[in-house]
Structure 1
Amino acid sequence: MAAADAAAIAAGTSGVELMERAGTAVADAICARFRPQPALVLCGPGNNGGDGYVIARVLAGRGWPVEVRALREPATDDARAARARWTGPTAPLAGRLEPVLWIDALFGAGLSRPLDGEAAAAALRMAERPERVVAVDVPSGLPGDTGLARGASVCAGLTVTFHAKKPAHVLEPGRGRCGEIVVADIGLGATSSRLVENGPELWLSRFPWPSATSHKHARGRLIVVSGEAWSTGAARLSARAGLRIGAGLVTVLSPPDALAVNAAHLEAVMLRAFETDLELEQAAADVDVAVIGPAAGVTETTLLNVLALARTGAALVLDADAITVFRDDPEELFSVLDRDDVLTPHPGEFERLFPGLLASAPERITAARRAAERADAVVLLKGPDTVVAAPDGRTAVNVNGSPWLATAGSGDVLAGFIGGLVAQGMESFEAACAAAWIHAEAADLHGPGLIAEDLPGLAPAVLRRLYDER
């Protein structure tokens, strides 16, 4: 954002003009959502406060009763210019904030310290009534690069930011404090970034739709490794998900003692037995993708099976037990991974492979990026704000996460979705992004009462919508 501002100013757009555009954009968003009513604009000393003075002036010009409360006098030239153009009532921030429409222009995304004094008291007051709060750029108290408040912070019902979302808008707990997020175009030029919000615009143009001449072999061959007889359901969930997402041929590779239970539950998914890691390697020799980990067991057998699959040409999707089994020697796993392999840990599994990394990183984006670089593979770090990172630094944050996915087996379905897309020729980073988004959309289609078995059957409705939008 700093680079975009600097480039616009270097190209001849003044900081005052950018502030006018920003403040007017916030006023427009407010007028589109609220009827005219008493409004209290809380202005800080920096350029975020300068935006606040512009908002106050524009709203007053449109007939709104507006008052400004200032934390301190403006400290930047642009903010002083905006303050000079505001001729309405201004009072110190100190004192009780009446329950009107509050416009939080105290501090923006560049905040690097906890709120204190009157600013902290005002933030706590606004957090009591987020539906009455409009935040400028980010709710005050949230650092824009992490979304992790180190003290009091505002909770808003509407946040208007500029040019592009910041990490605080997509990472929890910041995202939950922003309410509705509006990204206003204030005329800044395009800026390159390897960090994006996950959505169809990222990968839909390269989604592997079948053509009129497609056949099942052309649509990809996926295998899923089953656990022992008493823990086979997770592998079947992955296999069904891979088939539903479009893989042409899906096979569950099963220990002999689990053949009967798997056979009793499989139809279009095929079944094949293997006993040793060598037999598994041979069975996977001609497939495109192998999923291993769902209920595989944290055993030496699972470890050897992963290493056997790594010796084939198949891309690997490693989940659950196939991650945990390497907790004593993560480097053994990293040494056999390729850049088209995908790891899908939840935070606990992430800690087992990358001890201390999540706690030491400033936020989940940095942690996932460092993990992907260390493993030399795609890393999908699960959570309400799932992060997908590639070894080359590309990173996407998934913002459509659904609370209905908090159910046993949903991660097994996600692994199958990823495997099915990679099997069809989709690049692994984009496949992981697409799978995470489709997974969450499918959960929202069902809503309350969702169980993991529902998810594969919900995917076609999401795919139909994507197909129509392509």
Structure 2
Amino acid sequence: MKQRSFYHLITPAAMAAVDRDAARSGIDSFGLMQKAGQAVCAAALRLFPEAVRMAVLCGPGNNGGDGYIAAEALRLSGVDVHVFHLGDPALLKGDASAAFLAYRGKVRPFAEYGPCSGDLVIDALFGAGLGRVLDQPVVEVIERINAASVPVIAVDLPSGLDGLTGQPRPVAMQACHTVTFMARKPGHLLMPGRALCGTVEVFDIGIPGRILDAHRGDVAINTPGIWGGSLPKLTGAAYKFTRGHLTVFSGPMSATGAARLSAMAGLKAGVGLVTLATPTEALCVNSAQTTAVMVKEVDDLPALHEYLKDKRMSAFVLGPGFGVGEKARAFTLALSDRKLVLDADGISSFHEKPEDLFEHFAKNAPTHLVMTPHEGEFTRLFPDLANEPALGKVQKALAAAKRANAIVVYKGADTVIASPDGRAFINENAPPWLATAGSGDVLAGIIGGLLAQGMPAFEAAAAGVYMHGEAALRVGEGLTAEDLAAAVRPLQMETAF
């Protein structure tokens, strides 16, 4: 299906190109700035009508221009407005200069601002295009504002926040509300940027969609509106074998719970059959703890090869509770031509020689390996990428996906799903109570269940992450992994858009 542009994020560089193309097309760029500033004014009046004073902090560029427009609109509304400028306003150029000249109130140097009780700060210092580390005097004022806990409305993005990576440079304003324009930027979703932005309002200032579409790129918000058309479709002729067969590998007797969580999650995600492939020592405990999930002895590599002769086995999950070591490596490589979710111990088993894993899956087309590392597992497999400060989470995930020829689900509060072809989704529906033992095992099972039902790997991973978040929201705070697995539901087509 055609992807809808309003789900896509605009990088700061792309947004600058959008602004240039809008001006070249004949659109009045100062008119766009006026709409932006008026939107900020409206948000301030709507959200903080009780503010005693509105302090507008204006920077040396177009973000500052938005601030001057907002300040004049607030002044005309009868608000007590105090404007503080960073740099010499006489040096402003173009639309920012025109905005400064349109403001009829007094201005004072930025260094003179001190937060007071009853203030609302409108942060129009730097937007998403900040390309450098903040100067120390600016850092000190931002730290004073954050320490005072006065409410802040950010214009485009909290000052100091990198719009591409969501990382402070080196600190960022703590906003309770952010007004951005036309589309969100990656920094609005990536942590800690998401927490620093507060609520995010996207205001349409009138740039045509065709111009946005020309620069939107392949980074998007993870939403059913993009991949919903790939969800498994049930027909009246369906039966269990047409709905796929998922195999989840169990670890030894002392560590079987993780695999059972994955197996149950896969079943709840809609797959027709699930088998727990278990070593003999764990056969009794797994048999005693499962009902709808089948159990099969698979002790070693010869037994696995025998099991794989049945081509009806649609997809596999390896890693949850499996154990780190040679057996995990051998089983993984034996599955290099099958749809595989590699999680937890499966990933960590290759930390000494990750190239062995990458080489075995290098020629697969289309990609059918999905890896689901958390921060520690990602660092073990991709230490150079993890420790590269110039890269944001999206860039790290994309580089890892290309290197491994795998879909990489880089987990966290801001899970990134990345494909070797350059596509990446950022997830935002996961509540904080998903941070609990066994949650990742459930996610691996959901993705495996969707793979077994025939979804392409990237779409299955994205849908699995989204379904994982929805299940957690369904249960609520205080959930356990058992609650989470039981709450998994297939997404219905009518609710996917």
In terms of mean alpha carbon deviation, does 421-430 or 62-71 score higher?
A: 62-71
Q: Check 1:355–1:246 CA distance in 2 against 1; reply closer, same or farther (3 A cut).
A: same
Deviations 1:409-464 (A, max 9, x none): 1111000010111111111111111111221222233333211111121123x846
1:18-167 residue pairs with structure 2 within 5 A?
18-35=32-49, 37=51, 38-74=53-89, 75-95=92-112, 96-99=114-117, 100-130=119-149, 132-167=151-186
Show the counterpart of 1:428: 457
Question: What is the letter of the counterpart of residue 324 of structure 1?
Answer: S
Counterpart position of 2:7: none
Please give the residue correspondences for 1:311-350 in structure 2 after superposition, counting only pairs within 5 Å.
Answer: 311=337, 314-337=338-361, 338=364, 339-350=367-378
- Pick the aligned partner of 2:326 from 300, 321, 326: 300
Contact map agreement 2:270 2:449 (CA 8 A) in 1? yes
Q: For 1:44-87, what per-residue CA distance to the aligned partner results, in whole angstroms no more than 9, with x for missing partners?
A: 11111000001111222333222211122332221110011110
Shift of 1:36: 5.8
> 2-side partners of 1:367 and 1:55: how far apart?
37
Structure 1 residue 117 displacement after superposition = 4.8
Matched to 1:242, the amino acid is: G
Q: Is residue 411 from structure 1 mapped to residue 440 from structure 2 by the alignment?
A: yes
The AA in structure 2 aligned to 1:330 is: P
Partner-residue secondary structure (3-state), 1:19: helix
**One-letter identity of the residue aligned with 1:346:** H
CA distance in 1, matches of 2:256, 2:97: 67
Would the aligned equivalents of 1:137 and 1:162 in 2 still touch at CA under 8 Å?
A: yes
Question: Following TM superposition, by how much is the alpha carbon of 1:469 offset from its aligned partner in structure 2, in angstroms?
Answer: 5.2
Q: How does 1:70-469 map to 2 (within 5 A)?
A: 70-74=85-89, 75-95=92-112, 96-99=114-117, 100-130=119-149, 132-188=151-207, 189-191=211-213, 192-284=216-308, 285-286=310-311, 287-311=313-337, 314-337=338-361, 338=364, 339-360=367-388, 361-460=390-489, 463=491, 467-468=494-495
Three-state SS of the structure 1 residue aligned to 2:253 is coil
Q: Is the 8 A contact 1:316 1:341 kept in 2?
A: yes
Quick one: distance in 2 between partners of 1:354 and 1:170? 23
> Residue 366 of structure 1: SS of its match in structure 2?
helix
- Write the distance in 2 (CA, Å) between the matches of 1:396 and 1:408: 24
2-structure distance, mates of 1:161, 1:18: 13
**For the structure 1 residues 218 and 61, does the alpha-carbon distance in structure 2 shift closer, same or farther, using more than 3 Å as the test?**
farther
Deviation larger for 198-207 or 28-37: 28-37
Does the C-alpha gap of structure 1 residues 152 and 348 become closer, same or farther in structure 2, counting only changes over 3 Å? closer
Select the structure with the greater relative contact order (CA < 8 A; seq sep ≥ 6): 2
Q: Which amino acid aligns with 1:71?
A: L
Contact 1:227-1:254 at 8 Å conserved across structures: yes
Name which of structure 1's ranges 26-35 and 361-370 shifts more when overlaid on structure 2.
Answer: 26-35
Specify every segment of 5 or more residues in structure 2 that has no aligned partner in the other structure, as ranges: 1-14
Distance 2:447 2:184 in 1: 26
How many Å separate the matches in 2 of 1:227 and 1:68?
64
Give me the whole-angstrom Cα distance separating, in 1, the residues matched to 2:470 and 2:322: 27
* CA distance in 2 between partners of 1:122 and 1:197 (Å): 33
Matches of 1:76 and 1:211, distance apart in 2: 62
Q: In structure 1, what is the Cα distance between the partners aligned to 2:304 and 2:80?
A: 73
Asked if the contact 1:369–1:395 (Cα under 8 Å) also holds between the matched residues in 2, the reply is yes
1:89-115: CA deviations, max 9, x gaps? 222222223331110001111212232
Letter of the structure 1 residue corresponding to residue 375 of structure 2:
P
Measure, in 2, the Cα distance between the counterparts of 1:327 and 1:98: 52
Q: Which moved more, 1:190-199 or 1:217-226?
A: 190-199
The question of whether the paired residues in 2 share the 8 Å contact of 1:71 and 1:118 is answered with no
The aligned counterpart of 2:6 is none
What is the CA deviation profile of residues 187-216 of structure 1, one whole-angstrom value per residue up to 9, with x for unaligned ones?
A: 223233100111222222332242232221
Q: How many residues align?
A: 466
Alpha-carbon distance in structure 2 between the residues aligned to 1:326 and 1:230: 22
- How far the C-alpha of 1:325 sits from its partner, in A, is 0.9
Query: What TM-score, normalized by structure 1, do the two folds share?
Result: 0.95
> In structure 1, what is the Cα distance between the partners aligned to 2:232 and 2:203?
33
> How far apart, CA to CA, are the structure 1 residues paired with 2:305 and 2:34?
64
1:395 Cα offset (Å): 0.4
Q: Give identity over the alignment, percent.
A: 46
Unaligned runs of 5+ in 1: none
Partner Cα separation in structure 2 for residue 428 and residue 31 of structure 1:
47
Aligned counterparts of 1:427 and 1:291: Cα–Cα separation in 2: 16
8 Å CA contact 1:293–1:321 kept in 2: the answer is: yes
Give yes or no for contact 1:227–1:296 (8 Å, CA) kept in 2: yes
Which amino acid in the other structure matches residue 212 of structure 2? Answer: A
1:5 to 2:19 alignment: yes
The one-letter code of the counterpart of 2:422 is G
SS state of the match for residue 114, structure 1? Answer: coil
In 1, the alpha carbon distance for the partners of 2:253 and 2:231 equals: 36
1:20 maps to amino acid: Q
Displacement, 1:156?
0.5
